[in-house]
């Protein structure tokens, strides 16, 4: 959009310059201003992409300094919001309140921006929430759920009228972690036949169903609904962790064997398939779960130690559930 505006002003300048009567700036002020808007919008957009990627993986250091934009801020709503996203991504510990505030601004601007622009901007908020959750900031779970509900209703999560299977799974998982079980079940059933990738239909539906049953404490139904392990490395780990959680709740004799089996899998294969942070999340989950499984009931001291260990881990999968189980020991 900004490039088109720049080109229009540039064409007007070329026309006026060819008929220059020395009576005006031949549209140069507008050309320069629109060039700045195009350049800085695009530059900060690229910086934001880099910052998001840098939060998810190790990247070389790069000078990401953004110039002072005092004269431009307020002239472009898109630039204002892109710059706010930059400020959030550039913070070590952005707050959920700041993300919700920006989410509200975007919702209020829905009649000002194109669908594709809003889709792109909301995607930044969802990604920032996900990365914050993975880093242990569980307050972002409800923030992400609120964004997800709006984005699903407005259609930002769809491609070609279908819901990508990873979005279908993520919506339900986040809703369940927010304890919104009824919404998770509704989404599971409502979109079960609207998955973009038909080959993943059976897997994604069964996994969502199993997770809903688990949150309803229907552990036998959850176990029976577990899908076959996915070839997708991420969801392979999701299924294996859910299986272990079910076995823990059922007090199954298979639990310790399954923990050891999954740990060997993570140690031997995850180096090739997973980022180091995700590998660490799984290994920390398995370590704490093993300690929980071997803990006697009604041991307040051990409960407190386990809670402290979980809270100290920067990367650990299933943090909320592990904390709940550790508290139950006391």
- Give per-residue pLDDT as tens, 82-137: 999 999 998 988 999 999 999 999 999 999 999 999 999 999 999 999 989 888 78
pLDDT at 6 over 60: no
- Give per-residue pLDDT as tens, 37-50: 888 888 888 889 88
Report, as an integer, the average pLDDT of 267-293. Answer: 86
Output the average pLDDT for the chain: 88
pLDDT at 184 over 80: yes
Residue 235: both structure tokens together:
């969801």
String of b and e for 122-144 (b: at least 16 CB within 10 Å)? bebbbbbbbbbbbebbeebbbbb
Cα dist from 263 to 237, 258, 260, whole Å: 11, 8, 5
Report, as an integer, the average pLDDT of 254-262. Answer: 97
pLDDT band at 276 (very low <50, low <70, confident <90, very high): confident
pLDDT at 8 over 90: no
**Which range is least confidently modeled, 22-36, 44-58, 275-289?**
22-36
pLDDT at 183 over 90: yes
Q: For a pLDDT cut of 90, what percent of the chain falls above it?
A: 60
pLDDT at 5 over 70: no
pLDDT at 26 over 80: no
Report, as an integer, the average pLDDT of 210-225. Answer: 98
pLDDT at 67: 67
Q: Crossing angle of helices 165-177/201-215, nearest 10°?
A: 0
pLDDT band at 216 (very low <50, low <70, confident <90, very high): very high
Q: If DSSP states are collapsed to H, E and C, what string results for the chain?
A: CHHHHHHHHHHHHHHHHHCCCCCCCCCHHHHHHHHHHHHHHHHHHHHHHHHHHHHHCCCCCCCCCCCCCCCCCCCCHHHHHHHHHHHHHCCCCCCHHHHHHHHHHHHHCCCCCCHHHHHHHHHHHHHHHHHHHHCCCCCHHHHHHHHHHHHHHHCCCCECCEECHHHHHHHHHHHHHCCCHHHHHHHHHHCCCCECCHHHHHHHHHHHHHHHHHHCCCHHHHHHHCCCCCCCHHHHHHHHHHHHHHHHHCCCCCHHHHHHHHHHHHHHHHHHHCCHHHHHHHHHHHHHHHHHHCCCCCCHHHHHHHHHHHHHCCCCCCHHHHHHHHHHHC
pTM of the model: 0.82
pLDDT at 225: 97
pLDDT band at 3 (very low <50, low <70, confident <90, very high): low
């Amino acid at each position: 959009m900004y490039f088109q505006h720049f080109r229009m002003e540039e064409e007007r300048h070329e026309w006026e310059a060819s008929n220059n009567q020395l009576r005006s700036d031949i549209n140069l002020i507008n050309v320069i201003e629109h060039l700045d808007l195009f350049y800085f919008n695009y530059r900060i957009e690229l910086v934001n992409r880099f910052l998001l990627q840098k939060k998810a993986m190790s990247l070389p250091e790069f000078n990401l300094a953004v110039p002072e934009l005092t004269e431009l801020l307020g002239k472009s709503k898109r630039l204002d919001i892109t710059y706010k996203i930059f400020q959030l991504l550039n913070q070590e510990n952005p707050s959920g309140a700041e993300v919700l505030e920006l989410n509200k601004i975007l919702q209020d601007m829905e009649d000002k921006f194109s669908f594709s622009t809003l889709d792109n901007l909301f995607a930044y908020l969802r990604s920032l929430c996900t990365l914050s959750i993975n880093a242990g900031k569980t307050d972002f779970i409800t923030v992400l759920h609120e964004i997800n509900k709006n984005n699903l209703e407005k259609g930002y999560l769809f491609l070609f009228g279908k819901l990508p299977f990873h979005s279908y799974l993520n919506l339900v998982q986040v809703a369940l972690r927010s304890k919104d079980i009824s919404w998770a079940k509704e989404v599971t059933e409502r979109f079960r036949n609207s998955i973009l990738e038909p080959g993943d239909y059976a897997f994604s539906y069964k996994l969502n169903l199993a997770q809903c049953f688990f949150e309803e404490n229907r552990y036998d139904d959850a176990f029976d609904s577990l899908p076959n392990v996915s070839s997708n490395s991420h969801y392979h780990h999701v299924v294996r962790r859910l299986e272990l959680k079910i076995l823990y709740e059922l007090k199954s004799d298979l639990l310790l064997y399954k923990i050891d089996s999954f740990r060997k899998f993570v140690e031997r294969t995850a180096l090739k398939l997973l980022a180091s942070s995700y590998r660490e999340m799984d290994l920390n989950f398995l370590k704490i779960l093993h300690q929980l499984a071997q803990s006697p009931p009604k041991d307040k001291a051990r409960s407190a130690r386990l809670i402290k260990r979980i809270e100290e881990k920067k990367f650990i999968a299933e943090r909320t559930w592990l904390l709940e189980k550790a508290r139950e020991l006391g």
